[in-house]
């Protein structure tokens, strides 16, 4: 009888924990901004190019052995690269280019498909560069728990990328 009560209690606790994950946010937004001395055109020229992006790619800073395979046109929509390294594998493709923003489609396989963008706008003190990511975590309870840590993890990566971009331009 005692074992039965313990098993029912454990099952109830597990069910409650799983149900609680649906109270966690489904959508995650991460954003970092920096003011750089380079022109918006110079910044976006690197951002929209599969080879130009590698000049400030923060994942290369963290993993110098990161394998990069370019595909598509060198520049503009369709320009992209596959990556494979210690933090995972996937692809990044330029999905749109406007006057002040380059948007990317990221494919991380089972980890999801976040949308990222880099925008560069002329300001009084230099060019204001904003790097952001939006991700829909869906109904996956594990992804929603993981989403709690994305702000800190991805935010630090974007900060490194903005530092690299400042050095590259």
Cα distance between residue 58 and residue 131, in whole Å: 12
pLDDT digits (tens, 9 = 90+) for 122-136: 999 999 999 999 999
Residue 159 confidence (pLDDT): 96
What pLDDT was estimated at residue 51?
96
pLDDT on residue 26: 82
Token pair 């799983």 in the structure block, residue: 18
Domain boundaries, the chain: 26-168
pLDDT confidence of residue 140: 79
Q: What's residue 144's pLDDT?
A: 79
Out of 21-30, 54-63, 128-137, least confident range: 21-30
Q: What is the pLDDT of residues 84-115, one digit of tens each?
A: 999 889 999 999 999 999 999 999 988 889 99
Backbone angles phi, psi at 145, to 5 degrees: -70, -45
Helix, strand, coil share of the chain (percent; to 5): 40, 35, 25
**Model confidence pLDDT, tens digit, residues 1-17:** 676 766 666 655 665 55
Rounded Cα distance, 148 and 155, in Å: 12
* CATH number at 26-168: 3.30.530.20
The Cα–Cα gap between 22 and 27 comes to 12
Confidence at residue 25, expressed as pLDDT on a 0 to 100 scale: 72
pLDDT at 43: 97
Higher-confidence residue: 16 or 34?
Answer: 34
Mean pLDDT (the chain, rounded): 89
Mean pLDDT, range 45-63, rounded to an integer = 96
């Amino acid at each position: 009888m005692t074992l039965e009560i313990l098993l029912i209690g454990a099952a109830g606790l597990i069910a409650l924990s799983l149900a609680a994950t649906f109270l966690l946010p489904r959508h995650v937004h991460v954003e970092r901004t920096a003011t750089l001395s380079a022109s918006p055109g110079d910044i976006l020229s690197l951002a929209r190019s599969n080879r130009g992006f590698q000049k400030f790619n923060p994942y290369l800073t963290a993993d110098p052995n990161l394998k990069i395979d370019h595909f598509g046109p060198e520049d503009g929509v369709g320009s992209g690269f596959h990556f494979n390294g210690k933090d995972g594998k996937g692809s990044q493709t330029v999905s749109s280019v406007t006057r002040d923003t380059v948007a990317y489609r990221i494919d991380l396989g089972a980890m999801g498909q976040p949308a990222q963008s880099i925008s560069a706008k002329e300001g009084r003190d230099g060019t204001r560069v904003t790097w952001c990511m939006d991700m829909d975590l869906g109904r996956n309870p594990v992804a929603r728990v993981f989403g709690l840590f994305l702000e800190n993890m991805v935010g630090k990566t974007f900060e490194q990328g903005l530092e690299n971009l400042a050095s590259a331009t």
